[in-house]
Chains A and B, each alone.
Chain A
């Protein structure tokens, strides 16, 4: 188990290293002049040169990447000639626009993303899995057909269409809720929940379609297995067969996929955040792309990479924990 974990984490580190090289190369080499971008349009040539020196842009590419990597591990100092700017340990540089440390910026935005993802996950686990089970157990009825059509329509429909329609109906026409604006949990938990209600519903319902399909498929597969037939033949009641044995087969894929999705969302549910104006990691990404704030873009991509890679490891562990037939090697 420990060996497996070490191996996986080693692999994860390798993947992240490759990702960082690719992203770094792309974002620091392809576009025009980073110093000019960092300094802004109104900078004089002299100021641009200063920035170039501070960022170490005159060193070789490899040296620059080395510095960057060292910054991530141990932090780094930017010397401005007169003063020294220190950037703390997981240093991803400074934002061109706000001069804030990128790491700090992302950490500030993380709670909003976390709030959104958590609520959405609760919804898809309840609605998605419930729907999938229902349609697997009610085969042949009108329920199944209706649910099948619904999930098919839900799969693939862009999440922002669902969000827009919900907003339009609930906020603009029925006026049950005001247009949501994010309130941090620490400020006012009640307002936090009310304002996140629509985003949760949007993201949760959207993901539910996928989970309904998955649950239905895995439940049907489990129900078709030999041991289920054996239980039935022994006279075990249908209710017990489903609750005790079929569910055991249906649940592991759901747990694993949930871990994956949750991890991916930590990198920002970009569309939902953008639609509802939630100041999360995804919104940060979009904003920084619009402003060509490259350090933030690179930072978010790397953080997403870390989240996804870790989520993969966690998903595998959870899968193995939920399904004893799977052995970790």
Chain B
């Protein structure tokens, strides 16, 4: 959306307010990171979602081990475990749950569901993380080039970025999968397709941030000191870009998981026999009544994963930029007005304005130390006025 006005961001971060103390920078950076960590830890939702995701990653990594423990593998058919007279419905309760098959078996084929779900998690996470890395690398490079380049470079790259953001990525991804030879490894293809199509948001943020940072004294000082353009970019700009980029990557991850699942659901993603959650769901419709577990398990896993990533992403955003979060009223407890629309509205009416103008950033919890403007604003990584992660730019909607 090009029309959403964003002047507030600029107004909230007057370039002059950032002290350029090179000596103080490392200390401030360290305390900044610690502060972010503390803020993250003090939010129960962040801790829970991180725990869930940690567990999922461990399970995915340990998939071969767990498979061995169960004594199954993802590809063996067990014809004896499905009732061929009823079209292949698993025999036994809850989709054939037994000591040998902890989560039952796949209808039709009798393959072990537990192991297939675990291997599906591997595919999901690998593709999502890989695609996110590609997106961030391209986004940062293009954004930096646009922000640092001359007017022509900037306008060409920005225009290109706008187009990439506007085009519906799912449609393009589907179309792209049509032209790739069948022998190409699908997970790699998915990483590339998703990565190459969906970097626009990152690039836009990096460009905006670069333009802001370029005006600051410490960058000017580095330039006067004789550093070349790319040296400035690497040494001075990249560290300050960390906060917004991390924030955005945290939003990209779940969206990439959804895109992978969607493509596999549509039959143009990961190909069988490689297990994938989306693929399982595409065949699940037939088994609604006969084997509901086959629908609910992959759907539940996918939902929990995406939800946990979303919650964690929100928490990371709040922790890195409590000021913006406070303005939008995310995660504030102590300052909530009493119930009832009238008073609540009156209370919020004034609060965001004052916080963004003068007061230190409101924090997610009363206990932790609020980030004072001077402390957090030292250039390298710490969150501060200069780092304004996206409020309006959600990643492209994977679709509908």
* Chain A residue, CB-CB nearest to B351: A224
Contact A160 B262 (CB under 8 A): yes
CB distance from B68 to the nearest CB of A (A): 31
**Also in contact, A173 and B163, with CB within 8 A (given A158-B262, A220-B352):** no
Q: Out of A220, A288, A305, which one reaches B329, CB within 8 Å?
A: A220
Interface majority SS (helix, strand, loop, mixed), chain B:
helix
**Also in contact, A141 and B174, with CB within 8 A (given A152-B311, A326-B5):** no
User: With the chains together, A237 CA to B373 CA distance in Å?
Assistant: 37
Contact B400 A206 (CB under 8 A): yes
Interface majority SS (helix, strand, loop, mixed), chain A:
helix
B292 at the interface (CB under 8 A from A): yes
Which residues of B are found within 8 Å of A225, using beta-carbon distances? 353
Contact B281 A271 (CB under 8 A): no
* Chain B residue, CB-CB nearest to A134: B341
Which residues of B are found within 8 Å of A165, using beta-carbon distances? 299
User: With the chains together, A120 CA to B303 CA distance in Å?
Assistant: 22
Which residues of B are found within 8 Å of A270, using beta-carbon distances? 170-171, 174, 266, 399-400
**Also in contact, A289 and B265, with CB within 8 A (given A31-B179, A224-B353, A316-B3):** no
Contacts between the two chains (Cβ within 8 Å), count: 205
Contact B178 A304 (CB under 8 A): no
B328 at the interface (CB under 8 A from A): yes
Interface size for A (C-beta < 8 A) is 84
A159 at the interface (CB under 8 A from B): yes
Contact B345 A223 (CB under 8 A): yes
User: With the chains together, A172 CA to B181 CA distance in Å?
Assistant: 39
Contact B2 A312 (CB under 8 A): yes
Contact A260 B178 (CB under 8 A): no
**Also in contact, A158 and B302, with CB within 8 A (given A164-B284, A271-B400):** yes
User: With the chains together, A260 CA to B166 CA distance in Å?
Assistant: 9
Contact B171 A220 (CB under 8 A): no
CB proximity to A under 8 Å, residues B57-97: none
User: With the chains together, A32 CA to B281 CA distance in Å?
Assistant: 32
Contact A224 B352 (CB under 8 A): yes
Q: Out of B2, B265, B338, which one reaches A140, CB within 8 Å?
A: B338
CB distance from B151 to the nearest CB of A (A): 17
Contact B391 A217 (CB under 8 A): yes
User: With the chains together, A94 CA to B352 CA distance in Å?
Assistant: 58
B346 at the interface (CB under 8 A from A): yes
Task: List the 10 closest A-B pairs by CB distance, nearest first.
Answer: A172-B288, A140-B336, A269-B400, A289-B178, A224-B352, A139-B344, A319-B3, A140-B344, A141-B339, A168-B288
